[in-house]
Structure formats: structure tokens, C-alpha cells
């Protein structure tokens, strides 16, 4: 079956930070996991290069918005590669193929009678590229996200009749209780709709950097309308000489941060309905990563640089930390100390050391060959139903929940080794059978957790699976049994080596 997952397309006005890495990592976890389930996956990420957020910074730097985009999109592409992300395509809204589809979709919305000429008057945040109502402002007339003073704008432009989609959207929310996850965001989106929808600008008159309105070339299409269509347009040209829209549309999940809920959970489905295109299956929303009490954001000057972290600790460590530390869907604090803690206690000690100790014991006590015996019942019970639970979590866009499930077994394996004390059993020839079962059980447990951890920590999991001689990488194979029985183990080394504090400073 086809599975299509997307990230937001990121503004090229700033350097990527951990907040951007966060959504991209989550999307990669879903994409990798679905491939392990044998699905035909398409995974899209990219950059948003039009509108004020980009033009303002370009102006400040004395270059054109296109030059800024050309320079900065590479950083986002690099970030994906640095994180070991397996996107199938990287879209830029400056792609001419994208423009064509944007114009086609907007023309269809117009021809279907959902567009009219009007005058906008109200607050506008150039950083959000968003029109704000009075209730969305803080401290007088400041943007609640960027904390900058807003100006009132008045401009003639084309409007999208969002208000006429109130009822269809209410129906969508009534029929599809999982259209938006988690529940709290579903409620937020629904209440936004129920409060009454106002029509929105579909074009900008003053701005020149964007896709021209097909029936009025004096205006450009509002950057959010242009940007949202990326999810749909990419499928028509991402694969050379092939249009895969029919295969992958509607998208299975758009992953986004809660800051852009309104656009994805309200405006986007309305636009699609207006253009007679199917709406996506789900919008999966996560919270903010906070540094101290603020959202991590370049404009607020508080960011963790993902490139630096990966250089010191590797991509797996950052991927694991991001998915584990803050429950997906909620806001939560991140910090260098928190990161080092997770690295040392979870990855290096609980997972890495368990792996190296187990391999060392099989080597010392059984000449490197895993005993081919029945697995111990206690461990079989510990692992019972694990694969299904992990799949259910990821189907519900709960990567943190999936990691909780897996990690409970990593800890269970450590507890089991402590309790069985194989180093004592090895001293007593009468305990040889028990030692066989213990070694097989722990090695098998490591194989199963590594298969399920592979989407999160692909490099480490891959190394351990290779060392265990486990070839089948599917989720189907993540069943606890005698899988590694009889395998000759390979070399492993340290999965998560100690990082010198001097290097980390
Ligand atoms: N260009 C728009 C999105 C268009 S999608 C059709 C945009 N870009 S952005 O560069 O500002 O990126 C926003 C996204 O980056 C958020 O929705 C979220 O996915 C991610 N994050 C940026 N900062 C973040 C945090 N501090 N915490 C978590 N995610 C954050 O909006």
C-alpha cells in the first residue's frame, strides 16, 4: 500500500535549528518504519522560498530573495542528509513545475466560484506571513509568536471564500475523529472552525516575490496558499518522467508544529475541497521544543545547532533524543545537559553496553556462536505483542510512545541479565543449559529491539543487526523467538562511545 508523509517546507530566511530538525526526524521515523512494513513510501520535505519572511531578510542582506533561497535551501538539504533522513524528494517553491500546479489549483478554486475581489484591512505579521485577529495579539499589538509590533495593513486583493467551508469542515471533523492528532489539537482546530470562519486573502498586491495570480498578473499568490500546495504539486514532478499523484494522494500524514495548525487543519482542507481534490488523511501536530521558557527560534536568538550536535555525537543520538525527551504532541524543554544525560544513560549504558556485554559473553562462553535453543519464557512474555504495539503507536503518530514501549524491553533485558548473572552460570558446568537459554534470550531480545529501533537510530541498529547476523529487516521479523539461534556473531565495537567533555564544550 502507498504511504505518503510530509514535513512543513521551511522558510529559507534563517539557518536551520533543532526545531526544524525535529519535524524532519519524526517524518523520517514514520517513513522508515512504513518501509519496514513493506509499504510503498513517499516522503517529502523542502523549502518555502516566497513571501515576506524571505524578502525581508534578503533586503536586509542586500541580495535578491532568489539569491537568499539559492544560498540557504542547501542548508536545509544538508540538514536532512546530516540527520540520515531518507526523503524521496526535496521541493523548493521556486521550482517552475510547482508554479504551474499552484496556478492550476488556484485557477480551479476561482473557476469553482470561491474567489472574489476585496479589500483587506487588519493586522499582519510579516514573519508569520499571517493576517492576525485582535484575539491573536499580545501586549497591545504584538505577534504572539514573534513578539514584534505589528502594523495595520490595507490592501486590495483577491479573497478565498473560506467562510463557505465552515459546514463542510465541521462535517469533516465529525466524520474523521483522527483527522488531526493529538486530541487536544483536534479540539483546537474544531473550535477554531466553530467560532466562525472569515474569508482570507488569496493574493498580495504589494509583494512581487511569488507566483503570479493567473487571471491578474499584477498580484502574487499569498505565500501560504502557494506553500500548502507543495504537498500536492511535488507528486506531479518529483519522479523523473512520472506523475505519482494518483499513487500517493491523499497524503497519509502532514507532520507540522502547532504554530501552523490553522493553515493545515482549516485552510488547507478547505482549499482542497474548493478545488475538488481529496483532503489528506491526517494532520499530525507536535508541540514546541523550548529552551528555557521560550520556543527555540532563530529570531528569539535561542537555538541548539543540530549540525554541531551530530558532529560530536552522531545523528542517531540526536534523533533518539528528539523523539524521546519531549512527548510528541506536547511542548517540552530541551537542553545540552538533558541531551548528554540521555546519551549516556539510555544509549551508551542501557542499549550500547548491553549489546557489547552480550556479544562479549557469547564470544567468551560459546566461541561467538549463539546457542540454538528454546528462548526463556520470561523474555518471551516480556516481548509478547511488542511489534504490534509499536506499529499502533506509529500509526497514531506517537513516536515517543513507540520508544517507551521499546525501551521498557531494553530495561527488561538489562534487568534479566542482572538477575540471571550469566557470568556466575558460566562457572558451573551444571548450569550450561540455562546459560545457553540466557545468552540466546538476550541476543534475541537485542535483535528484536534493534529492528524496532532502526527507524529511530538507524546506524547503531544496523551495526548491531549486522553483528547479530540478522538479515531480515522487516517489522514482520520483529517477533521474539529463536531468530538468532545458531548465528555466528561479528564485531561490534562501541555503539555510543564516550564523548570527551572537552570536545563537547
Ligand atoms: N514555511 C512555513 C511552513 C509552510 S508548510 C506548507 C513555516 N516555516 S518555518 O521555517 O517557520 O518552519 C515551521 C516548522 O518548523 C514548524 O511547524 C515546526 O514543524 C518546526 N519548528 C520550528 N521551530 C520549532 C520549535 N522550536 N519546536 C518544534 N518545532 C519547530 O512555518
- Read off the pLDDT of residues 397-449 as tens digits, 9 standing for 90 and up: 999 999 999 999 999 999 999 999 999 999 999 999 999 999 999 999 999 99
**143 is known as an active-site residue:** yes
Confidence of residue 145 (pLDDT cuts 50, 70, 90): confident
Residue 325 · residue 287 · CB < 8 Å: no
* DSSP, res 258: G
Residue 48 CA: which ligand 1 atom is closest?
Answer: 1
**128 is known as an active-site residue:** yes
Residue 10 CA: which ligand 1 atom is closest?
Answer: 10
Alpha helices (H) in 288-431, listed in sequence order = 306-313, 315-325, 336-341, 354-366, 377-383, 386-395, 399-420, 422-425
**114 is known as an active-site residue:** no
Q: Is the pLDDT of residue 374 over 60?
A: yes
Using most ligand atoms within 8 A of CB, pick from 69, 257, 326, 399 the residue to mutate for ligand 1.
Answer: 257
Supply angle C-alpha 256, 262, 265, rounded to 5.
70
Q: Is the pLDDT of residue 231 over 80?
A: yes
313 lines ligand 1 (CB under 6 A): no
Lowest-pLDDT choice from 5-9, 169-173, 253-257, 488-492: 488-492
Separation in Å, CA 234 to CA 1, 43, 238, 247, 419:
19, 10, 5, 13, 54
Instruction: Please state, in angstroms and rounded to a whole number, the distance separating the CA atoms of residues 7 and 24.
Output: 6
Instruction: Please state, in angstroms and rounded to a whole number, the distance separating the CA atoms of residues 375 and 51.
Output: 60
Q: Is the pLDDT of residue 94 over 70?
A: yes
**255 CA distance to ligand 1 centroid (A)?**
10
| Nearest alpha-carbon partner for 21 in 284, 220, 317 | 317
DSSP reduced 3-state for 388: helix
Confidence of residue 140 (pLDDT cuts 50, 70, 90): confident
CB contact burial 167-191 (16+ within 10 A = b; e otherwise): eebeebbeeeeebbbbeebbeebbe
Average pLDDT in the 241-262 region? 97
Confidence of residue 297 (pLDDT cuts 50, 70, 90): low
Phi, psi of 123 (to 5 degrees): -80, 150
Q: Catalytic residue among 50, 77, 114, 125, which?
A: 125
Average pLDDT in the 98-123 region? 96
At 307-353, the pLDDT tens digits run 999 999 999 999 999 999 999 999 999 998 999 999 999 999 999 99
Instruction: Please state, in angstroms and rounded to a whole number, the distance separating the CA atoms of residues 155 and 203.
Output: 10
Q: Return the pLDDT at 503.
A: 55
Lowest-pLDDT choice from 294-303, 392-401, 467-476: 294-303
Q: Return the pLDDT at 275.
A: 98
Q: Give percent of the chain above pLDDT 70.
A: 97
Q: Catalytic residue among 50, 132, 143, 391, which?
A: 143
Please name the residue whose Cα sits nearest to atom 30 of ligand 1: 19
| Residue-level length of the chain | 505
Residue 289 pairs with which residues in a beta bridge? 332
Confidence of residue 300 (pLDDT cuts 50, 70, 90): low
50 lines ligand 1 (CB under 6 A): no
Average pLDDT in the 145-161 region? 89
Q: Return the pLDDT at 14.
A: 87
Q: Is the pLDDT of residue 147 over 60?
A: yes
**50 CA distance to ligand 1 centroid (A)?**
15
Sheet holding 115-125, edge to edge: 130-132, 115-125, 151-160, 200-201
Amino acid at each position: 500500500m502507498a504511504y505518503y508523509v510530509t514535513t512543513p517546507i521551511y522558510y529559507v530566511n534563517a539557518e536551520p535549528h533543532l526545531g526544524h530538525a525535529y519535524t524532519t526526524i519524526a517524518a523520517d521515523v514514520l517513513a522508515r518504519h512504513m518501509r519496514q512494513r513493506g509499504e510503498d513510501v513517499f516522503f517529502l520535505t523542502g523549502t518555502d522560498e516566497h513571501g515576506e519572511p524571505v524578502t525581508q531578510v534578503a533586503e536586509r542582506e542586500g541580495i535578491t530573495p532568489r539569491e537568499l533561497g539559492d544560498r540557504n535551501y542547501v542548508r536545509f538539504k544538508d540538514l536532512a542528509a546530516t540527520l540520515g533522513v531518507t526523503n524521496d524528494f526535496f521541493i523548493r517553491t521556486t521550482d517552475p513545475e510547482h508554479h504551474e500546479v499552484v496556478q492550476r489549483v488556484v485557477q480551479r478554486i476561482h473557476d469553482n466560484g470561491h474567489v472574489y475581489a476585496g479589500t483587506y484591512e487588519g493586522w499582519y505579521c510579516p514573519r508569520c506571513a499571517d493576517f492576525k485577529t485582535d484575539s491573536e495579539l499580545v501586549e497591545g499589538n504584538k505577534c504572539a509568536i514573534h513578539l514584534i509590533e505589528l502594523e495595520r495593513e490595507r490592501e486590495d486583493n483577491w479573497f478565498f471564500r473560506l467562510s463557505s467551508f465552515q459546514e463542510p469542515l465541521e462535517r469533516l471533523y465529525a466524520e474523521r475523529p483522527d483527522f488531526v492528532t493529538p486530541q487536544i489539537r483536534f479540539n483546537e482546530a474544531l473550535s477554531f472552525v466553530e467560532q466562525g470562519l472569515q474569508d482570507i486573502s488569496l493574493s498580495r498586491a504589494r509583494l512581487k516575490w511569488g507566483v503570479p495570480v493567473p487571471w491578474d498578473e499584477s498580484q502574487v499568490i499569498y505565500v501560504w496558499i502557494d506553500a500548502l500546495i507543495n504537498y500536492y504539486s511535488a507528486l506531479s514532478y518529483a519522479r523523473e518522467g512520472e506523475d505519482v499523484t494518483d499513487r500517493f494522494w491523499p497524503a497519509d500524514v502532514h507532520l507540522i508544529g502547532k504554530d501552523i495548525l490553522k493553515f493545515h487543519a482549516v485552510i488547507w482542507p478547505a482549499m482542497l475541497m474548493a478545488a475538488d481534490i481529496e483532503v489528506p488523511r491526517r494532520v499530525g501536530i507536535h508541540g514546541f521544543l523550548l529552551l528555557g521558557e521560550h520556543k527555540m527560534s532563530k529570531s528569539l536568538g535561542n537555538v541548539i545547532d543540530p549540525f554541531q550536535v551530530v558532529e560530536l555525537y552522531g545523528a542517531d543520538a540526536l534523533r533518539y533524543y528528539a523523539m524521546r525527551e519531549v512527548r510528541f504532541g506536547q511542548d517540552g524543554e530541551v537542553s545540552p545537559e538533558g541531551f548528554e544525560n540521555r546519551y549516556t544513560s539510555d544509549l551508551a549504558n542501557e542499549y550500547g553496553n548491553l549489546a557489547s556485554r552480550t556479544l562479549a559473553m557469547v564470544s567468551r562462553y560459546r566461541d561467538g556462536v549463539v546457542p540454538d535453543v528454546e528462548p526463556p519464557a520470561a523474555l518471551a512474555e516480556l516481548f509478547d505483542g511488542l511489534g504490534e504495539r509499536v506499529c499502533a503507536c506509529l500509526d497514531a503518530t506517537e513516536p515517543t510512545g513507540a520508544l517507551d514501549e521499546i525501551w521498557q524491553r531494553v530495561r527488561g533485558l538489562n534487568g534479566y541479565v542482572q538477575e540471571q548473572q550469566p557470568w556466575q552460570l558460566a562457572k558451573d558446568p551444571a548450569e550450561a543449559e540455562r546459560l545457553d537459554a540466557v545468552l540466546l534470550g538476550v541476543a534475541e531480545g537485542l535483535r528484536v529491539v534493534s529492528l524496532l529501533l532502526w527507524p529511530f537510530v538507524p546506524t547503531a541498529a544496523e551495526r548491531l543487526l549486522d553483528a547479530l547476523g540478522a538479515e531480515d529487516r522487516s517489522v514482520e521479523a520483529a517477533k521474539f523467538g529463536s531468530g538468532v539461534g545458531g548465528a555466528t556473531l561479528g564485531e561490534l565495537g562501541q555503539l555510543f562511545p564516550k564523548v570527551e567533555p572537552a570536545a563537547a564544550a
